[in-house]
Amino acid sequence: MRDEWEHAHTDHTRPAQRQTSTSLAESESDWRHHLEHFTPNGWLLRNNAMTEALTSGKPMYLLHTTKDIDAIRTSRQLHVSTGCLVGALYCSPLVTQHTGLRPHNLGTYLMETKPSTTPLVIEVTPDAPIKPKGIDYLHLGPIHLRTYLRYQSFLTPAENEQLDRTILAGLRAAAAFLDTALRNAAGHTTPAPAFIDMLSDAVAGVPFLGYLYFEVLSEYLMLHSVTPETKACAEVGELNNRLYKRLAFAAVDSMGQLFDLARFDPRCLRLVQLIEGIEPGLGEGAAEYVRRRLSHLFTRTALHPSQDAGALTFQGADLGTLREAAPGLIGQMVFREIRYLDRYRHLYHCFEKSKALEAWDYWNAEGIPTPFNGVIPKGEIGVNPAYPRSAVRIWTARPDGKGYLHPDEEVTAVLTPHLASWWAPPRRRETSNATDGSRVEAVPVARSPIPTRWSPVNGVPA
């Protein structure tokens, strides 16, 4: 169990440590070297302001935005969210300067786009320098699968059968692409346009691919961008988060109302147009980058480390075999599919609290009061609600009109190890438009209404 959590964390300041499948044409170390040394902003993987703040051992100042400040004051509690940080209070860094607390560019973006929220300043005083190990949600698949198998008895036989049937149908629909990705990871070269179009079609069957696709393009943009805006971020040790925000909202019309990466599936022509629209000059290399990088990451996150990537095929494989050979992929599919069972809202805390307890235990043992999103150190950082050796204080924040925040009124509340309310994006059916490669949304699949309860956090479900 602990090995799985270790495998799901990344320390960008150290050489790659993970065991990976055999037959890969490029290792994790190869990619780390390439990204760090051969992209304009790759040096920020190792030497960013957030990592320096973590390892300094000094108090950390973080920004959290909430819609529910009155509920927090009344209950005197803050609950944590699930998603990419598993079970932490979703925040972004603040930098102490003589003029006030300067928000990270991610925090500035959040305040600009969430004007109805209240900004909070969270002060975390650690007991020691913090290890810069971030949780990489793309590697959580084996943990999702193990948790499901552990609590499988909580579901009825019909529910388990429905889950298996849906996952197997998705795998069969996407099997040709999944095999293509494995072959590319092992050194075979599929023409990039054909690869991207196959990927786009496969997202409907395997929604996890939408997340992987988006994260690869986010990495590409943040590490390769050379705009004045990106350079200004780099000068203060930050990757530019606005790039991938623009990508998401441009790629999916309704992403501003519902941020759901299962709907991220641009075809090749559209992909190039999107990237060129964000930064002219980066579109030309985007498709080939996705082909190489996504094939590698898919194989690393999907397969068991003992598996030979060159020998496995998804076509015709049964679900039992794939649980052993590709636990990462099956776990990610279970995690995203189980939430659409009608009773899952009542079982949510059984499954998700189990994972959160394990994460808190791992972070406490590793000395991590402030875990961050380790897919890439872009400034998504949280507060571990169960850490026993750090002091936490909370204030409402007063903006000064010059871009800085100042602690205003201290909030008498504690961060508690309780998960915020269950939430799942509504499922949608989509059909392809063969003339331009875009997606046309059809009528959403009917679901029972989701009950609403106050939630004093604004995490982004993954």
Cα separation of the two ends of the chain: 21
The length of the chain, given as a count of residues: 462
pLDDT of residue 167: 97
Amino acid identity, position 406 = H
Q: Exposure string (b/e) for 284-311, b if CB count within 10 Å is 16 or more?
A: eebbebbbbbbbbbbbbbbbeeebebbe
* Ordered alpha helix ranges (H), 258-343: 268-278, 283-302, 319-325, 327-337
How far apart, in Å, are the Cα atoms of 128 and each of 56, 57, 59, 310, 390? 8, 5, 10, 44, 9
Q: Distance (Å, rounded) from C-alpha 30 to C-alpha 412?
A: 49
C-alpha 452: how far from chain center: 24
CB within 8 Å of 437: residues ≥ 6 apart? 197, 200, 266, 267, 268, 269, 270
CB within 8 Å of 104: residues ≥ 6 apart? 49, 50, 63, 92, 93, 94, 95, 238, 379
pLDDT of residue 431: 32
Q: Distance (Å, rounded) from C-alpha 234 to C-alpha 445?
A: 43
Q: Exposed (0-12), middle (13-18) or buried (19+): which is 435, by Cβ within 10 Å?
A: exposed
Nearest alpha carbon to residue 342 among 259, 461, 450, 420: 450
Amino acid identity, position 148 = Y
Neighbours of 342 (CB within 10 A): 10
pLDDT of residue 18: 83
Could you tell me the two tokens for 258? 């519902």
Q: Exposed (0-12), middle (13-18) or buried (19+): which is 77, by Cβ within 10 Å?
A: middle
pLDDT of residue 424: 66
Nearest alpha carbon to residue 68 among 421, 404, 370: 421
3-state secondary structure of 417: strand
Nearest alpha carbon to residue 178 among 375, 316, 1: 316
CB within 8 Å of 31: residues ≥ 6 apart? 293, 296
Return the CA Rg of the chain: 21
How far apart, in Å, are the Cα atoms of 179 and each of 4, 173, 174, 200? 25, 12, 9, 15
Residue 446 DSSP one-character state: P
pLDDT of residue 422: 67
pLDDT of residue 242: 97
Phi, psi torsion values for 461, nearest 5 degrees:
-60, 145
Residue 396 DSSP one-character state: E
3-state secondary structure of 390: coil
pLDDT of residue 423: 64
Residue with tokens 């709907």: 263
Could you tell me the two tokens for 63? 């920004």
pLDDT of residue 428: 55
Taking only the tens of pLDDT, the chain with its 462 residues reads 889 999 999 999 998 878 888 889 999 999 999 999 999 999 999 999 999 999 999 999 999 999 999 999 999 999 998 889 999 999 999 999 999 999 999 999 999 998 899 999 999 999 999 999 999 999 999 999 999 999 999 999 999 999 999 999 999 999 999 999 999 999 999 999 999 999 999 999 999 999 999 999 999 999 999 999 999 999 999 999 999 999 999 999 878 777 889 999 999 999 999 999 999 999 999 999 999 999 999 999 999 999 999 899 999 999 999 999 999 999 999 999 999 999 998 899 899 999 999 999 999 999 999 999 999 999 999 999 999 999 999 999 999 988 999 999 999 999 999 898 766 667 654 333 333 333 322 222 223 233 332 233 333 334
Q: Provide the β-strand partners of residue 103.
A: 94
Nearest alpha carbon to residue 375 among 184, 264, 218: 218
pLDDT of residue 258: 73
